[in-house]
Amino acid sequence: MEKEGTLVIVAEREERTRKTETLRWLPAGQGGRVCEAIAQYVARTRDHVVLTDATLSTRFAADPYVQRNKPKSILCAPIVHQGKLSALLYLENNLTAGAFTRERIEVLRLLSSQIAISIENALLHEQEKAFTRMQEEVRLAAQIQRNLLPQSSPPIAGYEISGSNIPAHAVGGDYFDFIQISEDRWAICIGDVSGKGLPASLLMANLQATLRGQTLLDAPPGECLRRANRLLFQSTSPEKFATLFYAILDARKHTLLFSNAGHDNPFVLHHGIESRRLKTGGIPLGMFEDFVFEEETISVEPGDLVVMCSDGIAEAMNAHEEQFGEERLSAILAQPGHPSPQDVIRRTLEAAKEFTGSTPQSDDMTIVVIRRT
């Protein structure tokens, strides 16, 4: 059969021993099993080749395979179905000259359509099995990823906190986490890994493990990002990177110490009015091996909201290829009242969904909200 432009042997039968062997896509030119020149000719012309005695053939007698094995009869036939070459059938008899008669060739012609249909059905069956395996692997990967994300909101005295992640595919590259450092201090982070699907989810899991390890060492945000950046740079290809906002909430001092590695700038709202965006930090992780990330501390006042989002929300597109945009996002967040983090998340995601309508989600959407009560 043909695979990626190369003829490969997929099955072989030896009549003398009555042994059938299924091969793992062995290139026709390897192993000395067939005369590759004959197979290539038949694949190109889609015409039969019948040799009464290959060693006397004017076209193929000088071929290295024929010179070495001195085969007698050779028949190579194309298996064609609906104008498409499905496979080649190569028959060889090293004992008898003229083994493949005109009558036998005619029988082979009559059988070729059924052979082609059988091959097609077998390939479809293999593809179905492979697809089923892939679906199961993706399902397991999605389950693992869901288990890596926080399963509930942490109990922080004087604060309400919540997060939500909606991947564009079964698995995604967005990430958020709540990591307890001490009784009153929590690391809170949100990230977005470049790419989508399984590769992004694997990189996200790697990033999460790195951050949790650094957090347990009680490293400040800037240092934590510096170490994570170096590890990501050393363990991934140059086109892979991640944006990350990393903060430490001190519930006793009511402060938020943070550093932003190229992530969408979180919003800080005081009584429903946007007071600032959290920009201090540096470039996305994984772009340069060594980078010093700046950090900043802000006070968190009663009633303050800190809202962190991935770019999948602001960049959500409708059917007219218009983005939801940060202005709409800011307007949604700045509504009056004292909404809980869950209400803010629900309202934001509903507004983005209403804006995009029937347009499929193209990027992961993640949002984390902190509210001082």
Give 2-117's CATH code, choosing from 1.25.40.10, 3.30.9.80, 3.30.479.30, 3.30.450.40: 3.30.450.40
First to last CA, the chain: 69
Rounded CA-CA distance 199/364 in Å is 14
Report helix, strand or coil for 265.
Answer: coil
Q: What angle do CA 45, 84, 39 make, to 5 degrees?
A: 40
The verdict on domain 150-372 having CATH code 3.40.640.10 is no
Cβ 163 vs Cβ 235: under 8 Å: no
Q: What angle do CA 339, 345, 348 make, to 5 degrees?
A: 100
Query: Residue 250's beta-bridge partner residues?
Result: 185, 255
The helices-and-strands tally (H runs, E runs) of the chain is 8, 17
> Domains of the chain: which residue ranges?
2-117, 150-372
Rounded CA-CA distance 124/235 in Å is 38
- Taking only the tens of pLDDT, the chain with its 373 residues reads 988 888 999 888 888 888 888 777 788 878 788 999 999 999 999 988 999 998 888 889 999 999 998 998 999 999 988 888 889 999 999 888 999 888 888 888 888 888 888 988 988 998 999 888 888 877 877 777 777 788 899 999 999 999 999 988 877 788 899 999 999 999 999 999 887 777 777 788 888 888 888 888 888 999 999 999 998 898 888 788 999 999 999 999 999 999 999 999 999 998 888 889 999 999 999 999 999 999 999 999 999 999 999 999 999 999 999 999 999 999 999 877 778 999 999 999 999 999 999 999 989 999 999 999 9
Which two structure tokens, joined as six digits, stand for 359?
């347009």
Rounded CA-CA distance 70/64 in Å is 10
**DSSP calls for 32-93:** T-S-HHHHHHHHHH---EEES-GGG-TTTTTSHHHHHH--SEEEEEEEEETTEEEEEEEEEE
